A and B are shown apart, each in its own frame.
Chain A
């Protein structure tokens, strides 16, 4: 078995146990979390290198062969997402050095965060449907604990909505797993790919819809997204940024996996439904953002909107579209989390991130302005930043597929995104500071470095785009040819 495949899960998971033990030593915990996330990133990069070199890697735990034991699989899709997750984990751990207060640390912030990271990576790497459920539970409970950690009552309310809606998602997911198991007698996803092909097609399509709802809630697609804007603006910035970047993307990943590996028998219907939902998600999310007046609320609604682009890529279901969806996802994680980081810095410097209460940041804090501009205009799809190519790929794929209406919606959403980003810019950065606003001097390096580093990634993905695109295309090629995934797990014959 290859330890490399599970290293990105086991490292943070084991480290979290250590961090639990260290709970009276906050300074030690901080360093430990930073070191763990750095090591996780190294392991993830090694895994991606291995996948790029030698193709899909699969391993079973406990020596029980697939489909009987639990399999972990790293193809390009999983490996890329794990790298992104590890980058975000490291950035968050660094940002948290200055952002998370001693009270929260004393209540277990660091071990909880490491469990969350392990849960996210577990979801990306597992090749077993029920095990995916377990990782969903792990990351759900860890995120709930982080969301409400040191909560006041108002924050708790957002947390309750978050957990209640996500439990409903889990319920649908579990029901769908049970039905799937009853239908096929297996839980291994590679095995399922074949078994579902042989099952009664209309029953499989109905199951697909159940999975769509379960994963759609996680991914915050229309009309299942309400929990997200209700909860994401309350926790500390570091937590919110990681949530904003990664949690919905776990849902997107699950949709990508389910609708390229498992449910490809009735693409006209399943992916048609996805296309309709993608269109609504883009538009409703971006209009929701336009109605907000606080930076993090604006950003939270934009998460929803941009999930729509990724689902659109999946719905179009061509190699280019899938590559576009994945490229969009990676771009979006980096830019969106970074905007949350910047919002945290704005709060740090100006004491608020309400657009009515801040101003004058461009004149007085030009570095902060640059830190905002790069991810904000990337999000709005301006060249030569990452978001431009992301949008271009999805739009090009849409045009090639003749999906005119969706292309119009995608472009219109891009314009409204620009509207929202300039709204933040015009008011928080350009407009003169309101009477009596005093800007603080200090901005800790721990908060500035992640912002600068992620902005660097956004620029790099925009200027030196080909290597990133090549990876996304490799992932898309694998997604379009599930036989490769199946063969890597079950051997060349495709059956155990």
Chain B
């Protein structure tokens, strides 16, 4: 059942493109049945999970590597699964209204439902590799969701940035998973959690932790990887709302929480998580003050929450777990409605700029009400769940004053954020907006209204939530059973005092927001350093520059350069090998022989030198011919007349053909003008190559020759193969298939030559379309039908270069 709950999402997603057009305006309501149904099913599992009996299911996937498609639903997974499905329900319904009439809505539902299924897969996977598969699927589907409005450059860039940043983190994470799994001998998460000592004692613990954390930090947009998240605001609002509240960015937090019992509790873990989380808190709080777009304001508030969550996972322990879970659920329940209300402003009033909008409360009363309820929770005021979560967070961080100070400061910034988003556009008498605003349709307020109300309800009765979900979930985070009761009111304690201080500081920030905002904007207007600048420098400019520079150096168009590189590399490799591994011992051959033999040798050497030093092709060809004839003479002298005859024939033909052809080739094809400067290097390389091959040959001929094959051919040629000429028998019988192959080589060469002559020769050319194949449009785009027989047709070749 558990695997079905994950996989059904993909199946339904596949139906979405086909069925959505038929559903028309009801599409959102119909597709919402999937997450709603799943939420119901997950809710029904609460009793069993509370009883400490997680659901488990595993199917072998790559049994030879011990990789399984394994699922496990415990308390921690259940909280996340419920968040994903419940908020998913609201988002799907909302999207139906928000994107009503959009032509690409069918694709949108495909992606959204697949994204939801992938998220569910992440939070219930019990195998690191399975988890990674779903993890990457969330990256992939969110890429398409963020880039949904792909006609806009901003959307494409935002989507790519998210994919590249989370993708690189994902790769690090994969390395971490593989490292850890290979070392501890299992990819099963529950097995690692059951035996944390093995994980922490592993020699790869530290690298694995750092790599996995990198994956989690990029996904959860921790400093300095946070840059992609605000830019992902280019997504349609339902997507932003979903990504920020319950999914995507929560995946990193989930992974850290999931692995906390196995990997947590060490000093590295504590400092890594609290350090990065605190940095995120501070960076996000500062940058939030620069924003005036409602969605971007909310994006930075998400970063604040994510930083806080990572800090709390880092602190850990029963209290940390309790605080982290309450804080997270509260965040999900207020963030999704706030985004949706911001979307309503955009949709119904035509802008999200909070300095432009005001007085819309009368026109959009429900949206305003929802926004206010969610905002109170976001600001951490009673009687909301947000208050409970923040109090617990303060309590958790009391022993770590520096982190606490950062959280208090960041929480104070939440106050101006929510005032800007939930108060400023609505308050006032005179409606001010780019278009005549009116209330959003029911599909666009029902979801946020329910979620915001849940935030209120759980704030009034937090223990209901705690006993049903948070206590079992905290057990998953701590790795041991925990027990706690949640109350709204804790009496006057340190946390409450800090809350009061937060509100006062926040109120002060509200009062000075405008001058502060303007001052900061001027101050930071031209700043391009920092993580965003680094991303731009690295990805947008760095990769293309490095790539172009390197490619220019490496990939020359010059054939001589290629041959030089290849030969030089070969000689270098042989020399290096000989130096490192020892070369063969060479005995210098004794010099004896008749004078005419030395004369022939001298002829060959002169021919070779002549070829290398030739300045004209004709001279090179004739010199090469001298070498060939010299070799043929050697064959004559060493009693191989058949070889000699063959060689003479081949050489003669070669010289004639080359002389006819090579001298007519355009010079640019074989040599460019600057090549002359290289000729000295070429000579050195050629001479070294010659020497190297000579040495190899010498070494080989100094080993005794194994005559097994020669003896067999001699012996079997006449009696078995019925041929008296051994060479012929080898060619047509012993190794006949070689000859067959060479016959085909000749046939093909003839065909190829014929084709080239037909094409380039003086006779009319057969019709060939270059840029586009048979029957397609005119490639040159000049309106004429494709006709290769005309010069225009020839010019329009595939490479785009003219003839």
Residues of A within 8 A of B (CB): 13, 16, 20, 61-62, 64, 67-70, 98-104, 106-108, 111-112, 115, 118-119, 122, 130-131, 134-135, 137-138, 141-142, 144-145, 148-158, 160-161, 164-165, 168, 172, 175, 179, 182-187, 195, 199-200, 202-203, 205-207, 209-210, 212-213, 217, 223-224, 226-227, 229-230, 233-237, 266, 269, 273, 284, 287-291, 294, 344, 347-348, 351-352, 354, 362-363, 366, 377, 382-384, 388-389, 392, 395-396, 399-400, 407, 411-412, 414-416, 418-419, 422, 426, 430-432, 440, 465-466, 469-470, 473, 496
Contacts and interface: CB of A to CB of B under 8 A. Distances in A.
Nearest to A288: B551
Given A61-B736, A138-B748, A179-B700, A227 B562 contact: yes
Contacts of B751: 20, 107-108, 111-112, 145
Given A168-B567, A186-B708, A287-B547, 9 more contacts: A67-B708, A102-B774, A154-B802, A165-B563, A172-B570, A234-B797, A290-B547, A440-B777, A466-B62
B573 A212 contact: yes
Contact of B738 (A130, A213, A230, A407): A130
Interface string B759-788: 110000011111111111101010000001
A101 B774 contact: yes
Nearest to A187: B709
Nearest to B767: A103
Given A145-B749, A161-B562, A419-B164, A431 B741 contact: no
Contacts of B168: 415
Given A363-B104, A415-B167, A422-B160, A206 B696 contact: yes
B293 interface: no
B706 A152 contact: no
A412 B701 CA distance: 47
B709 A68 contact: yes
Contact of A185 (B156, B178, B709): B709
A430 B577 contact: no
A100 B700 CA distance: 49
Interface string B339-374: 000000000000000000000000000000000000
B748 A206 contact: no
Nearest to A101: B774
Interface string B128-145: 010011001100100000
Contact of B151 (A233, A284, A432): A432
14 contacts: A68-B716, A149-B755, A157-B669, A182-B697, A200-B699, A209-B570, A269-B577, A269-B581, A288-B547, A383-B136, A412-B171, A419-B539, A466-B60, A466-B63
Interface of B: 60-65, 104, 107, 129, 132-133, 136-137, 140, 147, 150-151, 153, 156, 160, 163-164, 167-168, 171-172, 174-175, 178-179, 182, 539, 543-544, 546-548, 550-552, 554-557, 559, 561-563, 565-567, 569-570, 573-574, 577-578, 580-584, 669, 693, 696-697, 699-701, 703, 705-710, 712-713, 716, 733-738, 740-742, 744-745, 747-749, 751-752, 754-756, 758-760, 766-777, 779, 781, 788, 794-795, 797-803
Contact of B752 (A141, A168, A217, A388): A141
| A13, A289, A430: most-surrounded residue (chain B CB, <10 A) | A430
B577 A469 contact: no
B554 A288 contact: yes
A377 B62 CA distance: 21
Given A103-B768, A179-B697, A287-B550, A152 B794 contact: yes
Contact of B137 (A273, A383, A392): A383
Contacts of B756: 148, 151, 156
A220 B548 CA distance: 20
| A233, A344, A395, A422: most-surrounded residue (chain B CB, <10 A) | A422
Given A61-B737, A138-B744, A179-B697, A150 B755 contact: yes
Nearest to B720: A64
Q: Classify the interface of chain B: helix, strand, loop or mixed.
A: helix
A66 B736 CA distance: 14
Contact of B569 (A119, A148, A213): A213
A295 to B, nearest CB: 12
A399 B696 contact: no
A219 to B, nearest CB: 13
A62 B696 CA distance: 34
Contacts of B178: 392, 395-396, 399
A348 B772 CA distance: 6
A294 B801 CA distance: 13
Contact of B748 (A141, A199, A209): A141
A348 B752 CA distance: 26
B708 A469 contact: no
A473 B693 CA distance: 38
B562 A145 contact: no
Contacts of A142: 748
A67 B734 CA distance: 11
Contacts of A290: 543-544, 547
A288 to B, nearest CB: 5
B564 to A, nearest CB: 11
Nearest to B553: A284
A233 B555 CA distance: 15
Nearest to A296: B798
A366 B755 CA distance: 39
A107 B566 contact: no
Given A20-B747, A145-B752, A422-B163, A134 B738 contact: yes
A13 B132 CA distance: 46
A199 B706 CA distance: 11
Contact of A101 (B175, B551, B554, B773): B773
B741 A131 contact: yes
A68 B164 contact: no
Given A185-B708, A205-B577, A233-B799, A362 B150 contact: yes
Q: Which 4 pairs, one residue from A and one from B, show the smallest C-beta to C-beta distance?
A: A185-B706, A145-B752, A103-B768, A290-B547
Given A154-B803, A205-B581, A347 B772 contact: yes
A466 B64 contact: yes
Contact of A141 (B151, B749, B788): B749
A79 to B, nearest CB: 19
A103 B769 contact: yes
Contacts of B771: 347, 351-352
Nearest to A180: B700
A183 B705 CA distance: 6
A203 B695 CA distance: 11
Contact of B742 (A62, A134, A466): A134
A473 B63 CA distance: 12
A200 B585 CA distance: 10
A430 B133 contact: no
Contacts of B574: 206, 209-210
A106 B745 CA distance: 19
Contact of B741 (A112, A137, A160): A137
A144 B564 CA distance: 22
Contacts of A69: 734-735
B175 A395 contact: yes
Contacts of A209: 570, 573-574, 577
Contacts of A399: 175, 178-179, 182
Nearest to B788: A103
B799 A234 contact: yes
B156 A269 contact: no
A236 B773 contact: yes
Contacts of B741: 119, 122, 131, 134-135, 137-138
A107 B544 contact: no
Contacts of B569: 213, 223-224
Contacts of A294: 800
Given A185-B707, A213-B569, A440 B776 contact: yes
A291 to B, nearest CB: 4
| B543, B565, B583, B707: most-surrounded residue (chain A CB, <10 A) | B543
| B129, B700, B769: most-surrounded residue (chain A CB, <10 A) | B700
A230 B556 CA distance: 9
